[in-house]
Amino acid sequence: MSELSLETRRTLTLAATILGSSLAFIDATVVFVALPTLERDLNLGLTGQQWVVLSYSLALASLYLAGGAVGDRYGRLTAFTAGVVGFAAASAIAGAAPNGGALIAARTLQGIAGAFLTTNSLALLRSVYGDQAGRAIGLWTAFTSVATIGGPPAGGALVEWVSWRWIFFLNLPLAVATVVLARLGRCDERTQVRVGRLDIPGAALAALGFGTLTYGLVEGTSKGFGNVWWSFVVAALALAGFVWVERHVEEPMLPLEVFRERNFAFANLETFLVYGAIYAQLIYFQLYLQFIGFSPFEASLVTIPSGALMILLAARFGALADRSGPRLFLATGPAMLAVSILLILLVRSRGDFWIAGTLSVLLAGLSLALFVAPITATALKSAPAEYAGIASGVNSTVSRLGNLLAVALVGLVVSLVFHGRVDAPKADPLATTQKAPALRDASIEGFRAGMLLAAGLALAGATVGALGITNLRRPEPAATEVSAPAAAPVES
């Protein structure tokens, strides 16, 4: 028998976190492809289709903090593995669902497990890689991007030629492989995990607050915010109660003093702003491309160059940020993103896309490669090592809330500008069926106004990166403490 080296165990752990996180990322998007088929087979209706998506997102956003806190208390590997097993079990239930209600319940369970899986995958990388976490997170970003890009086409093939049920059943062997890799690469975290009891009241209030806030942002966009006002009241009360509990409980889930760490506070503020810009640009540009004449398949191909740049460069920029500090990357990346969004304003027809649109796509991909790994690594590394899980949970929650709020606000701007220019109460902006020149011009103007808001968010993020982020480093535990030789025997 011989013991695996530290570097080998790090690599195995990285592979496990990539594969496990890919399960959650793919299932967040691949179900979009299957929605029409699910509606026919399970008689879901429009509301049912929305809840197949919404139930997963709500559970994720509600439990990111709790998932990270559990990992900090009981070990990130344990929480990560439990999340993978839970996700596989929920996937099996989803694949066998006899009706829409059972599928929505299974999707909720997937979201719950996914919250533990994704937050602890990143926290585990922080634990194992220490001050080299930027490069590891870059590799994680690159390879999960491959899965995210390839997931929808693969899911579409399964739905069309096999069965929609296999988009869920396929998770089972992948989950088994993830657990095997994680166990082979296991590391001793005893020097880093927190001790004491889990803060149950804090976890419950955080879940209620973030869950109702997410519900309000998502449903308000389609139903009108006046119809879901109660969700914002509940969210405000729950989050205020959460802050009170965290300030007075003996062992808080989220010690508020962690926000005194400059880079932690500013990295999460920048995450909120820039991820809002990223998702607003991504979603509305896809709608706009189809509005100006691209087919859904053609529009989906536009994201491939950005994904390819992420795959090629994310790990390299993450490693450079490890060595030289993150400030340059966190200022330059969002500024480039803003320029890429402004280039979209030059695209008014399908013919305009091939120059301005192509430049926009390539610049957006380069900006994301510069930004994503360094911002995630900065948010995780700026918190004390024993709070790696909760730091990951905070960053995941902030990014999701940022994109939900930005998508809602940009949609509101698009709608207000559109209806301010035409007297057509029943018309929708960016509808592909629009033929009247006045309606199409109003849609274009609405889209341009929305993209100006998205570019403003990116520029605000760049300003935070330039003025708020520092290159000073928090001391990391020695490698022998981060990953002491724990179990992982193999046959000699």
How confident is the prediction along the chain (492 residues), in pLDDT tens digits per residue?
357 777 888 888 888 888 888 888 777 667 766 777 787 788 877 567 767 877 887 788 778 888 887 887 778 888 899 999 999 999 999 999 999 889 999 999 998 999 888 888 888 887 777 767 777 877 787 777 777 666 667 776 777 788 889 889 988 999 999 999 988 877 655 445 554 566 678 778 888 887 888 788 777 766 777 888 898 999 899 989 988 988 888 777 777 788 888 888 999 999 999 998 998 888 788 778 878 888 766 776 777 787 788 778 887 888 888 888 899 999 999 999 999 999 999 998 888 888 998 999 999 989 988 988 888 888 888 887 777 777 877 888 888 888 878 877 888 888 889 989 888 777 878 877 888 889 999 999 999 999 999 999 999 999 999 999 998 765 555 444 444 433 333 332
Contact 157, 20 (CB under 8 A): no
* Shared fold status for 1-194 and 254-473: yes
- pTM (2 d.p.): 0.76
DSSP 186: -
Question: For residue 204, what pLDDT is reported?
Answer: 83
User: CA-based diameter of the chain, in Å?
Assistant: 78
Q: Which two tokens stand for residue 418?
A: 């559109």
Look up the CATH number of domain 254-473: 1.20.1250.20
Half-sphere exposure of 133 (CA within 13 A, CB side): 33
- State the burial class of residue 428 (Cβ atoms within 10 Å of its Cβ: 0-12, 13-18, 19+): middle
Q: Which two tokens stand for residue 213?
A: 């806030």
Positive/negative CA dihedral, 361, 32, 136, 481? positive
Extents of the domains making up the chain? 1-194, 199-252, 254-473
Size of the chain in residues: 492
d(CA 186, CA 183): 5
What is the architecture, at CATH level 2, of domain 1-194?
A: Up-down Bundle (1.20)
The secondary structure of 340-393, three-state, reads: HHHHHCCCCCHHHHHCHHHHHHHHHHHHHHHHHHHHHHHHHHCCCHHHHHHHHH
Return the closest-CA partner of residue 432 out of 295, 300, 298, 302. Answer: 295
Question: For residue 299, what pLDDT is reported?
Answer: 73
**Could you count the other beta carbons within 10 Å of the beta carbon of residue 29?**
15
- State the burial class of residue 93 (Cβ atoms within 10 Å of its Cβ: 0-12, 13-18, 19+): middle
d(CA 79, CA 414): 42
